[in-house]
Structure formats: structure tokens, C-alpha cells
């Protein structure tokens, strides 16, 4: 294997990344690797298209995970507010 082969981050099938849930951290790290590969200017047109597709799917997954966490935090805040109001009403 040449040094170029070792530096090249192989593209992953975008549909495979969608079917296999990844942690937020794994997905974000892969997006960073994709950006580095695209910024290098060494990717072929076909590889660029594959990387962009994979990156888009990963970014959408990250956004979905962040939205879920945000929703859970909002529920927690609402629960805390209800508890506080109930305590104040009974005092």
C-alpha cells in the first residue's frame, strides 16, 4: 500500500450509515474525516459524490439525535417547573 492509500479515508456507503445507528460522537468524527478528505482535493468526482451523500446522511442523523436530546431537556425543564409551581401552590 502506498502512503496515499493509507491517508485516504475510504468512503462508506451512505445507505449503510443510515441503517447502522452511530453514536453522535462517531458520526461527528466521520463527518470531520469526510471534510478533511474533501478539503484535500484528492478525491475523485465519484468519491466526492459518495462522501457528500454520506456526510449529508450523517449530519441529518446528528441533527436528529440533538433534537431528541433537546426534547428530553425541555421535558425535564417542564417537569421541574411543574414541581416548583406545585410546591409554591401548597406553601
Can you give the pLDDT at residue 64? 95
pLDDT by residue for the chain (91 residues), tens only, comes to 334 433 444 445 444 444 556 899 999 999 999 999 999 999 999 999 999 999 999 999 999 999 999 998 888 888 888 888 888 888 7
Can you give the pLDDT at residue 14? 46
> Is the full-model pTM beyond 0.75?
no
In SS3 terms, the chain reads as CCHHHHHCCCCCCHHHHHHCCCCHHHHHHHHHHHHHHHHHCCCCHHHHHHHHHHHHHHHHHHHHHHHHHHHHHHHHHHHHHHHHHHHHHHC
Q: How far is CA 82 from the centre of its chain?
A: 33
Query: What phi and psi, each to the nearest 5 degrees, are found at residue 23?
Result: -70, 160
Can you give the pLDDT at residue 31? 97
- Domain ranges within the chain, ordered by starting residue: 3-64
Amino acid at each position: 500500500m502506498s502512503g496515499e492509500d493509507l491517508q485516504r479515508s475510504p468512503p462508506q456507503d451512505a445507505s449503510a450509515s443510515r441503517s447502522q445507528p452511530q453514536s453522535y460522537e462517531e458520526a461527528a468524527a466521520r463527518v470531520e474525516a469526510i471534510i478533511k478528505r474533501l478539503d484535500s482535493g484528492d478525491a475523485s468526482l465519484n468519491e466526492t459524490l459518495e462522501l457528500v451523500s454520506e456526510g449529508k446522511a450523517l449530519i441529518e442523523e446528528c441533527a436528529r439525535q440533538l433534537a431528541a436530546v433537546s426534547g428530553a431537556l425541555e421535558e425535564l425543564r417542564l417537569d421541574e417547573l411543574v414541581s416548583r409551581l406545585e410546591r409554591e401552590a401548597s406553601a
